[in-house]
Amino acid sequence: MQVQLIACDEIKIEDNRHVLGKVINSVSVPVFPYIIKFSFLLKITELPLKRDVLTEFKIINAKGELLSSPSAFVHRNYRGLNQVPGVDQNFDFKLLVEREENIFFECYIDGVKRSWYPINISLY
């Protein structure tokens, strides 16, 4: 199973396809504390054909402190027989940031960390 994450300022659905906004590697804010908004595209390939998987997200800082643990989701393959089994889904998040640091968006499938994505938080 392969898991990919990409963070953007927004993700829209047009003609049944994901349209990604600007890719985010860092976010600059005017003051702390501040609530940032961002979207993630989750792409899972090689999903088991006849089994659901539990997908969970965690947002941690460089010290390993848990900043957020959004809801868990159940994923299954909906693709046709001629396609690689998988799923694409987008998620919108809001997160309270309180200092300059690197944060890490982690994706767990059935309790195993499968991917992570860093975002640097800084002041203007």
Q: Give dist(CA 77, CA 38) in Å, integer.
A: 26
Q: pLDDT tens digit string along 45-87?
A: 999 888 999 999 999 999 999 999 988 999 999 888 899 999 9
Contact assessment for residue 95 and residue 68, using Cβ atoms and an 8 Å cutoff: yes
Q: Provide the domain limits for residue 30.
A: 2-123
Give which of 123, 91, 120, 122 is closest to 104, Cα–Cα.
Answer: 120
What CATH number does residue 16 fall under? Answer: 2.60.40.2550
Is 90 exceeded by the pLDDT of residue 106? yes
Q: Residue 20 has what pLDDT?
A: 97
Total number of domains in the chain? 1
What predicted TM-score, i.e. pTM, was given to this entire model?
Answer: 0.92
Compute the C-alpha angle 29/61/99, nearest 5°.
35
